[in-house]
């Protein structure tokens, strides 16, 4: 037998000592009647009847499908004015202590929690969550009429396991908010917090949001909650009281046009550093039940034009205009028409771009960034000339792409048979908010020589976004990347937290103006 490491003992005692001084508890154990610590009693929930899952995604959110009219034991219907209807559903619950089973309902909007009352006897002969008019006991009817949720345990075992039973839940409809958490537990900590339990989310309805596009729509450099599609989803939930199921197919580097390397991602599918390339048209192919979406957010065409050609001193404005009109008008029009043929009744919001470099961009930072990206700065000696060229090309692309995308949308809308609109949204990120400005709404560089050294960079500048470390590791881990250093700097010039908020606000404004979202 190996002797325990002395370092392990010292570390363990240090943790215990610190917890003793702080008065902390180990909440993984429950408290028995004698005060000794025992293993917690666990509970597992498996929805059984009258709960609908979203048709995509893996969230444990369910929509109750049974709204029962309440009747007394004699079969008399209770007037709604005296007792509102109740949602009823059935769960399969596994635990070793059904006599200690408790349940709590938490309104996530209000932050309030109320306990469900367990009925010791089934309230009627058929104690199941039937959606027919349900005869309830006087006790159950009275509790529901007083706005108390109840549950009861079927005494019959549901399988060969003695620890698995059917549990019927009845909740006054008025107690369900847009998002309500239902937790079952059979144990508590010494501070009366639930322990070893399981929970599901109950929702009034689902709203399906499909997100297609490139790195802007993906949200390069942003944490999940700060991405523009997350902000839009949160606002839709607040306005519609529906649970938004957000399916994001957008990814960094995606073009509108199909490519020979298009493939479905099956492993480590982050859009920050994709391990499998998916053009936007290929993304459309892979969307599950696209026609059931309630809203499609999309962008695209800048990667077809190629940012490396836009920020190139050898490129001409005429060449940028020609490429932009072809991809942002012609190819986008074909993509929208194809999208409409698959999902003809779904509103579509197309987001535009912005002048990522402007005359207000700081020249020195701009030059350093261009070098790290490998952009061709030619033989121009004056940094001001390089910056002016980049700013001019950026403005040319922004103006041309905005006009081209609008033309594509008008053409696609003319072929649309439904009343739902296709709209273009300009994020409103002006020249004063471009990269390397005093009030930049896109990711810049920051000086961090130590981090740059650890990343193997010759210059002391690194991207300022919070995804830098994740992206750096992924860039070097993915053997298919020919230039991991360019991958590290991929966030620069993409909307930061302020920029993503500007995008989201512009999208929501368009949805309100077109009647797709309530004020």
Residue 464, pLDDT above cutoff 60: yes
Print the SS3 string covering 442-479. ECCEEECHHHHHHCCCCCCEEECCCCHHHHHHHHHHCC
pLDDT single digits (tens) 288-346: 999 999 999 999 999 999 999 999 999 999 999 999 999 999 999 999 999 999 999 99
* Tokens read off for 229: 């599609």
Q: Sorting pLDDT into bands at 50, 70 and 90, what band is 177? A: confident
DSSP symbols for 165-181: EEEEEEEEGGG--SEEE
Pair 343, 284: CB distance under 8 Å: no
Q: Sorting pLDDT into bands at 50, 70 and 90, what band is 3? A: very low
Distance in angstroms (rounded) separating the CA atoms of residues 132 and 129: 9
pLDDT at 84: 60
Q: What is the mean pLDDT of the chain?
A: 84
Q: Sorting pLDDT into bands at 50, 70 and 90, what band is 106? A: very high
Distance in angstroms (rounded) separating the CA atoms of residues 199 and 181: 7
Distance in angstroms (rounded) separating the CA atoms of residues 131 and 153: 18
Distance in angstroms (rounded) separating the CA atoms of residues 23 and 57: 41
* Tokens read off for 391: 């700013």
pLDDT at 31: 53
Least confident of 120-129, 182-191, 228-237: 120-129
Pair 175, 149: CB distance under 8 Å: yes
Distance in angstroms (rounded) separating the CA atoms of residues 185 and 101: 6
Residue 390, pLDDT above cutoff 60: yes
pLDDT at 168: 92
Query: Greater confidence, 120 or 369?
Result: 120
Residue 231, pLDDT above cutoff 50: yes
Which whole number is the average pLDDT over 149-175? 85
Burial class of residue 42 (count of CB atoms within 10 Å of its CB; 0-12, 13-18, 19+): middle
Distance in angstroms (rounded) separating the CA atoms of residues 470 and 473: 5
Encode burial over 301-320: b for 16+ CB neighbours within 10 A, e otherwise: bbbbbebebbbbbebeeebb
What does each C-alpha distance from 353 to 207, 301, 426 come to in angstroms? 26, 10, 7
HSE on the CB side for 28, CA within 13 Å? 1
Residue 373, pLDDT above cutoff 90: no
pLDDT at 267: 67
Q: Sorting pLDDT into bands at 50, 70 and 90, what band is 94? A: very high
Alpha helices, DSSP H, located in 343-467? 363-373, 383-414, 449-454
Alpha helices, DSSP H, located in 154-306? 215-218, 228-240, 280-286, 302-305
What lies within 8 Å, CB to CB, of 406 at 6+ separation is 424
Distance in angstroms (rounded) separating the CA atoms of residues 175 and 64: 13
pLDDT at 28: 47
pLDDT at 174: 87
* Tokens read off for 222: 């942003």
Residue 381, pLDDT above cutoff 70: no
User: Domains plus CATH for the chain?
Assistant: 44-203 (2.60.40), 206-513 (3.40.50.1110)
Residue 74, pLDDT above cutoff 60: no
What does each C-alpha distance from 63 to 94, 147, 178, 235 come to in angstroms? 22, 20, 10, 20
| Strand pairing category for 117-119 and 206-212 | unpaired
Which whole number is the average pLDDT over 52-58? 89
Identify the three-state secondary structure at position 371. Answer: helix
* Tokens read off for 432: 């004063």
The pTM (predicted TM-score) of the whole model is 0.84
Rg (CA), the chain: 29
What lies within 8 Å, CB to CB, of 467 at 6+ separation is 220, 221, 222, 223, 272, 491
Distance in angstroms (rounded) separating the CA atoms of residues 217 and 491: 12
Query: Greater confidence, 59 or 121?
Result: 59
Identify the three-state secondary structure at position 20. Answer: helix
For the chain, give the percent of residues with pLDDT over 90. Answer: 55
Residue 449, pLDDT above cutoff 90: no
Distance in angstroms (rounded) separating the CA atoms of residues 40 and 330: 63
Which whole number is the average pLDDT over 137-166? 83
pLDDT at 13: 38
Q: What is the DSSP letter of 79?
A: P
Encode burial over 229-254: b for 16+ CB neighbours within 10 A, e otherwise: bbbbbebbbebbbbbbbbbbbbbbbb
Distance in angstroms (rounded) separating the CA atoms of residues 325 and 317: 12
Least confident of 37-41, 403-407, 408-412, 461-465: 37-41
pLDDT at 19: 43
Residue 149, pLDDT above cutoff 70: yes
pLDDT at 35: 53
Which whole number is the average pLDDT over 484-508? 93
């Amino acid at each position: 037998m190996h002797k325990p490491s002395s370092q392990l003992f010292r570390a363990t005692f240090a943790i215990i000592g610190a917890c003793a001084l702080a008065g902390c508890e180990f909440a993984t154990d429950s408290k028995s009647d004698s005060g000794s610590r025992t293993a917690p009693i666990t509970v597992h929930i498996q929805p059984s009847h009258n709960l609908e899952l979203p048709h995509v995604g893996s969230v444990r959110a369910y929509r109750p499908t049974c709204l029962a009219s309440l009747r007394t034991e004699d079969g008399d219907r209770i007037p709604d004015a005296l007792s509102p209807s109740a949602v009823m559903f059935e769960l399969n619950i596994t635990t070793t202590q059904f006599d200690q089973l408790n349940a709590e309902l938490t309104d996530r909007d209000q932050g309030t929690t109320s306990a469900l009352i367990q009925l010791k006897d089934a309230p009627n002969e058929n104690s199941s969550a039937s959606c027919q008019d349900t005869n309830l006991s006087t006790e159950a009817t009275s509790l529901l009429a007083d706005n108390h949720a109840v549950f009861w345990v079927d005494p019959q075992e549901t399988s060969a396991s003695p620890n698995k039973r059917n549990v019927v839940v009845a909740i006054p409809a008025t107690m369900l908010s847009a998002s309500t958490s239902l937790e079952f537990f059979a144990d508590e900590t010494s501070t009366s917090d639930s322990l070893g339990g399981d929970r599901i989310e109950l929702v009034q309805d689902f709203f399906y949001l499909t997100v297609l596009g490139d790195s802007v729509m993906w949200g390069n450099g942003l944490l999940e909650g700060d991405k523009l599609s997350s902000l839009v989803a949160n606002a839709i939930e607040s306005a519609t009281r529906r649970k938004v199921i957000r399916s994001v197919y957008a990814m960094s580097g995606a073009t509108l046009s199909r490519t020979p390397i298009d493939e479905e991602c099956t492993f480590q599918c982050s859009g920050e550093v994709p391990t499998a390339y998916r053009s936007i048209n290929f993304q459309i192919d892979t969307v599950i039940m696209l026609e059931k979406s309630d809203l499609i957010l999309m962008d695209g065409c800048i990667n077809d034009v190629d940012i490396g050609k836009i920020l190139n001193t050898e490129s001409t404005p005429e060449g940028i205009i020609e490429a932009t009109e072809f991809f942002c008008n012609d190819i986008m029009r074909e993509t929208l028409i194809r999208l409409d043929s698959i999902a003809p009744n779904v509103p579509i919001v197309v987001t535009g771009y912005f002048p990522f470099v402007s005359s207000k961009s700081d020249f020195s930072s701009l030059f350093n960034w261009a070098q790290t990206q490998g952009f061709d700065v030619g033989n121009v000696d004056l940094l001001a000339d390089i910056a002016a060229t980049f700013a001019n090309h950026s403005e040319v692309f922004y103006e041309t792409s905005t006009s081209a995308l609008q033309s594509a949308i008008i053409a696609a809308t003319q072929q649309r048979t439904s009343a739902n609109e296709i709209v273009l949204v300009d994020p409103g990120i002006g020249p004063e908010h471009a990269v390397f400005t005093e009030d930049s709404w896109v990711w810049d560089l920051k000086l961090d020589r130590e981090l740059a050294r650890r990343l193997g960079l010759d210059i002391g500048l690194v991207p300022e976004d919070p995804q830098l470390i994740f992206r750096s590791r992924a860039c070097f881990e993915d053997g298919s990347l020919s230039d991991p250093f360019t991958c590290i700097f991929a966030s620069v010039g993409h909307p930061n937290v302020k920029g993503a908020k500007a995008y989201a606000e512009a999208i929501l404004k368009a949805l309100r103006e077109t009647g797709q979202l309530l004020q």
